[in-house]
Structure 1
Amino acid sequence: MLTFCRRVPIKRLLRRLHNEAAANPNNTNSLIKFHGKWPVLEQDEFTQHMRIISNFITVEEEQQLHEEIEPYMSRLRYETDHWDDAIQGFRETERKKWYPHNRAVLERVRQVAFDGAIMPYVHILDLAADGVIKPHVDSTRYCGNTISGISLLSDSVMRLVRTDAEKYQQGNTASNDKEKDTAYRHQPVPLRDDNFYADLLLPRRSLYIMSHTARYNFTHEILANEHATFCGNPVQKTRRISIICRNEP
């Protein structure tokens, strides 16, 4: 966990965290802030299964990815309500074919984040400055044990809150709840009584890798600007594009 947190200008904080991540690429704890009373074993599992790689792509690679997707995304309008009520202020699409230099970046994601192949269609989620992603767990029906995303254009704060995995799995297979079973994103009730969760700073051009325990047992969300802080410092999200890879269920 963080060895110290104090209020400093966010740019200075990010620069310090970038330097820490560059010095020790295998240690992402500086980008994770734990809240509440975590069971020791669960916190250890979480740090193994929730990783953030700062500066995963270069400024040039970010620009190339953006240039490829922007002509299409700019023709879409931002939606205020998602069909499953999990996102507000967003545009999204999927893309299978990429320019060779961008395909090389996605191959790097595959090598770092996945044991095998990734799903052929890559999800692109464009979140407006005032957009939010509500707490949810991606359905096991449509996604395997790992979700990995590159953050373009903006820093943001992701929050993961422990949920009741057993009840969630039962809800997925309940014969009298077909709507939940077919939903792309589920919104289970977090275990508020346990009062432990984690805030993650996702710097621009970073890669997050959410797998196993972190993927199944926690809701994840992107906080609205009025709630987004890290180490007591406000993190002002502007327009954010995430390029999300998944493996097969």
Structure 2
Amino acid sequence: MSLAVITRSKRLTKTLFAHLNLCSLSIRWIKHEFCTLSNRLHSPNASMSSPQHERVCPDYLEASDSNTEEILSKDMLVHKDFISEEEEHHLLEEMIPYLSRLRYEYAHWDNAIHGYRETERKHWTARNKVILERVKQFAFPPTVSALAYVHILDLAEDGYIKPHIDAVRFCGDTIAGLSLLSPCVMRLVNDKDKMKFANILLQPRSLYIMKDRARYEYTHEVLPGHSSVFKGQNVPKTRRISVICRNEPEEIDP
């Protein structure tokens, strides 16, 4: 057998083994994914995935401990770039003329906000109504009714929100908010154990959905500029407008 034939045979053998190794890795990966999915489906707490979970930003959460991370990765969802720059512009174009006629307040009725102006809006332009309907359909199940009025909160550059839990008599178990103009850091703190907390990075045009345990068991706040830090990096907060949708509160028996 000639040297050329032997060399070609060795090359073919190496190529064959490379393909076999690749196939073996692929098979192991498929088996791993299948087992992971099977375990989830057979878990007592398993639920079918939804578009909400598919779009969660994996790096928005900085938690003090693994238990808090587990709870809030499920009940405090953040979806980056939920709206486009053009959609953000259209929302601001409708809101700012009215907001500009208001003055920033530094004393809130329940002492929860510093440096803000706010309003509620029921009627929107056709273009913006489509955006807000998309938020509601994405955040709330079909059987849940959203409040007719949308809350608009305009925080000044030096404004911030103090720790609080929204009163259950005003809204239900889910709060969905669009963040506009400026990034900020929202902090959630366990209401019964202040050592358990998480920082949430909210980028402009993102949508956050706070529900269930995050809604009822954790206070939430927007940090002022001097303490606006996420994973060791300063997050420069300037003026921020949030557009907040809530669902109807549950009826409480007398």
Task: Assess same fold via TM > 0.5.
Answer: yes
- Counterpart residue identity of residue 167, structure 2: S
Equivalence map 1:102-117=2 (5 Å): 102-115=128-141, 116-117=144-145
Q: Secondary structure at the match of 1:118?
A: coil
Aligned to 1:229: 229
1:25 CA drift (Å): 4.6
Task: Kindly indicate whether residue 61 of structure 2 is the aligned counterpart of residue 32 of structure 1.
Answer: yes
- Counterpart residue identity of residue 232, structure 1: G
Aligned to 1:208: 208
- Counterpart residue identity of residue 86, structure 1: A
Aligned to 2:21: none
- Counterpart residue identity of residue 243, structure 2: I
Equivalence map 1:87-98=2 (5 Å): 87-98=113-124
Q: Secondary structure at the match of 2:209?
A: strand
Aligned counterparts of 2:161 and 2:74: Cα–Cα separation in 1: 24
Aligned counterparts of 1:26 and 1:109: Cα–Cα separation in 2: 13
Aligned counterparts of 2:228 and 2:58: Cα–Cα separation in 1: 18
- Counterpart residue identity of residue 139, structure 1: A
Whether the 8 Å CA contact 2:61–2:69 is kept in 1: the answer is no
- What is the CA deviation profile of residues 95-146 of structure 1, one whole-angstrom value per residue up to 9, with x for unaligned ones? 0000011000111111111013210000000000000100000000111000
Aligned to 2:252: none
Greater helix proportion = 2
Q: Secondary structure at the match of 2:74?
A: helix
Q: Secondary structure at the match of 2:198?
A: strand
Query: Which one scores higher on RCO, CA 8 angstroms, separation ≥ 6?
Result: 1
- What is the CA deviation profile of residues 45-91 of structure 1, one whole-angstrom value per residue up to 9, with x for unaligned ones? 32111100000010000000000011100000000110110000000
Whether the 8 Å CA contact 1:127–1:239 is kept in 2: the answer is yes
- Counterpart residue identity of residue 156, structure 1: C
1:26 CA drift (Å): 2.9
TM-score (norm 1): 0.76
Aligned counterparts of 1:38 and 1:138: Cα–Cα separation in 2: 25
Aligned to 1:182: none
Aligned to 1:181: none
TM-score (norm 2): 0.74
Aligned counterparts of 1:243 and 1:26: Cα–Cα separation in 2: 20
Whether the 8 Å CA contact 1:78–1:128 is kept in 2: the answer is yes
Equivalence map 1:139-218=2 (5 Å): 139-164=167-192, 191-192=193-194, 195-218=195-218
Whether the 8 Å CA contact 1:143–1:248 is kept in 2: the answer is yes
1:231 CA drift (Å): 1.4
Structure index of larger Rg: 2
- Counterpart residue identity of residue 203, structure 1: Q
Structure 1: 5+ residue stretches without partners:
1-23, 165-190
Q: How many residues align?
A: 195
Aligned counterparts of 2:66 and 2:197: Cα–Cα separation in 1: 8
- Counterpart residue identity of residue 202, structure 1: L
Task: Kindly indicate whether residue 153 of structure 2 is the aligned counterpart of residue 125 of structure 1.
Answer: yes
Task: Kindly indicate whether residue 223 of structure 2 is the aligned counterpart of residue 240 of structure 1.
Answer: no
Aligned to 2:3: none
Whether the 8 Å CA contact 1:33–1:199 is kept in 2: the answer is yes
Residue 69 (structure 1) aligned to one of 81, 95, 107? 95
Q: Secondary structure at the match of 2:158?
A: strand
- Counterpart residue identity of residue 218, structure 2: F
Change (3 A) 1:152 1:27: closer
Q: Secondary structure at the match of 2:169?
A: coil
> Cα RMSD over matched residues?
1.3
Aligned counterparts of 1:30 and 1:111: Cα–Cα separation in 2: 24
The percent of aligned pairs where both chains have the same amino acid is 51
